[in-house]
């Protein structure tokens, strides 16, 4: 198989894996509404059972880059497909809170594979970095956007177990197809970051610190918003809405994130990353602040702004790693990037439960807005530091 064919096939499976990664991880936050109705347990009790899944999602991402370097990216992505499929079937078979917690933890472990491994595969095989990152981001957003709607339809029509069984079988089929059609890792555009040179910086440590703050705060806002969204719609858009309609409204909000990712993909190939990062960062505190103090249509507007910023930032952050980190260290850099974002944010599940009990979703979204302000401050710092680097490079030699 020639290199171009291998790269095209690899990118297709990486995109599908991204969609599945977000889809499967967000089945439970919607299915929990149906599970609560069937079991009589409260939303706070049930959503807390997913803590292990979201902690494993981040914590276990740290070694995945190293494992990919040791055993191969193809092997790790195959394990992702099969692990996700089996864990979905396990959750569907759960009959007690303990079983839910265990299988959700296994699901989180499988989900941790994708981002460090898939992002590295994407950058390796990309021809136009911004374009391919944008397309990949849309696939991930498509998974997140359809999770609520599809889960609600399956749960309402066939029972909540079907919401896990159907995606689980699809994951297993994707794993078999991936092994059959992609024979190896391949080199693709390795070392070129989609044809763009690595950007040299004079002071990497300060940049790393402000980027780390943005990643951690971004992980908090991302998980708070995406996990709580179905229940926020249930409580604050229209109380008593049918589950199917709740899922549809949540899907509508996620769609705007996909549109932002397409736009960001195009802009990344044309404009500087620090400028784009700064411009996008202001939307999160604005959107979350509006959502925290409103209901109905103003709430939806705030959520749309937030979702656009959340998913746009994902594309920009992945591009930053590709543009600022040398090729030999990218897999491990992506592991650290997702470890920081997802491990800390994994604790938002019990945080949502506690805040919801004490102050409802007004308090939950208000705390998320505070994290959004941290992202804006970090983006401002990143912009200032890179602008100084650019000024030094342009200054005439004495």
SS3 call for 355 = helix
Give residue 79's pLDDT: 95
Separation between Cα atoms, residue 366 and residue 180, nearest integer Å: 48
Please give the domain boundaries of the chain with CATH numbers for all domains. 3-394 (1.20.1250.20)
Residues in the chain: 398
Global pTM value = 0.74
The DSSP string of 330-375 is HHHHHHHHHHHHHHHHTTHHHHHHHHHHHHHHHHHHHHHHHHHHHH
Q: Which residue in the block uniquely carries the two structure tokens 């339809």?
A: 153
With 70 as the cut, is the pLDDT of residue 24 above it?
yes
The DSSP string of 164-184 is HHHHHHHHHHHHHHHHHH--S
Q: Which residue in the block uniquely carries the two structure tokens 């920009």?
A: 316
With 50 as the cut, is the pLDDT of residue 190 above it?
no
First to last CA, the chain: 54
Separation between Cα atoms, residue 62 and residue 9, nearest integer Å: 26
The DSSP string of 278-321 is HHHHTHHHHHHHHHHT--HHHHHHHHHHHHHHHHHHHHHHHHHH
CA 174 to chain centroid: 20
Window from 5-19, 208-222, 262-276, 330-344 with minimum mean pLDDT: 330-344
Give the mean pLDDT of 234-245.
Answer: 65
Q: Cα 252–373–133 angle (5° rounding)? A: 50
Here the tokens at position 174 are 């994707």
Host H or E run for residue 252? helix 243-268
321-335 pLDDT, tens per residue?
888 887 777 778 888
Distances (CA, A) of 58 to 55, 111, 114, 191, 338: 5, 9, 11, 26, 6
Q: Which of 361, 140, 151 is nearest to 247 (CA)?
A: 151
Give residue 18's pLDDT: 94
61-103 pLDDT, tens per residue?
888 878 888 888 899 999 999 999 999 999 898 878 888 889 9
Question: To the nearest whole number, what is the mean pLDDT of the chain?
Answer: 82
Question: Residue 239: which pLDDT band, with cuts at 50, 70 and 90?
Answer: low
Host H or E run for residue 194? none
């Amino acid at each position: 198989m020639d290199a171009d064919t291998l790269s095209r096939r690899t990118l297709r499976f990486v995109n599908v894996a991204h969609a599945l990664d977000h889809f499967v991880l967000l089945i439970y936050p919607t299915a929990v509404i149906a599970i609560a109705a069937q079991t009589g347990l409260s939303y706070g009790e049930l959503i807390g059972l997913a803590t292990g899944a979201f902690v494993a999602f981040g914590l276990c991402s740290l070694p995945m880059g190293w494992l990919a370097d040791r055993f191969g990216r193809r092997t790790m992505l195959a394990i992702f497909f099969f692990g996700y499929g089996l864990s979905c079937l396990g959750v569907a078979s759960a009959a007690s809170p303990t079983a839910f917690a265990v299988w959700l933890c296994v699901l989180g472990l499988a989900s941790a594979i994708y981002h460090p491994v898939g992002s590295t595969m994407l950058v390796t095989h990309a021809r136009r970095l911004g374009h391919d990152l944008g397309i990949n981001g849309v696939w991930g957003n498509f998974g997140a956007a359809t999770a609520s709607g599809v889960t609600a339809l399956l749960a309402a029509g066939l029972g909540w177990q079907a919401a896990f069984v159907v995606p689980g079988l699809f994951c297993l089929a994707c794993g078999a197809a991936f092994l059959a059609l992609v024979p190896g890792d391949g080199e693709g555009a390795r070392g070129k970051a989609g044809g763009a040179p690595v950007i040299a910086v004079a002071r990497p440590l300060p940049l790393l610190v402000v980027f780390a703050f943005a990643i951690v705060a971004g992980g908090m806002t991302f998980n708070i918003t995406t996990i709580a969204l179905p229940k926020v719609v249930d409580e604050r858009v229209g109380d008593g809405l049918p589950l199917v309609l709740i899922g549809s409204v949540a899907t509508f909000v996620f769609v705007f994130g996909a549109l932002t990712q397409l736009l960001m993909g195009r802009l990344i190939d044309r404009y500087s990353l620090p400028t784009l990062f700064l411009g996008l960062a202001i939307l999160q505190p604005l959107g979350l602040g509006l959502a925290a103090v409103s209901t109905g249509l103003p709430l939806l507007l705030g959520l749309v702004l937030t979702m656009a910023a959340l998913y746009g930032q994902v594309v920009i952050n992945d591009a930053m790693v590709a543009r600022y980190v040398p090729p030999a260290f990218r897999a491990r850099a992506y592991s650290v990037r997702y470890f920081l974002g997802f491990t800390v944010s994994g604790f938002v599940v019990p945080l949502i439960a506690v805040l919801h009990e004490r102050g409802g979703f007004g308090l939950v979204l208000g705390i998320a807005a505070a994290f959004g302000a941290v992202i804006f401050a970090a983006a401002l710092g990143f912009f200032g530091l890179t602008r100084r680097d650019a000024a030094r490079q342009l200054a005439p030699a004495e």
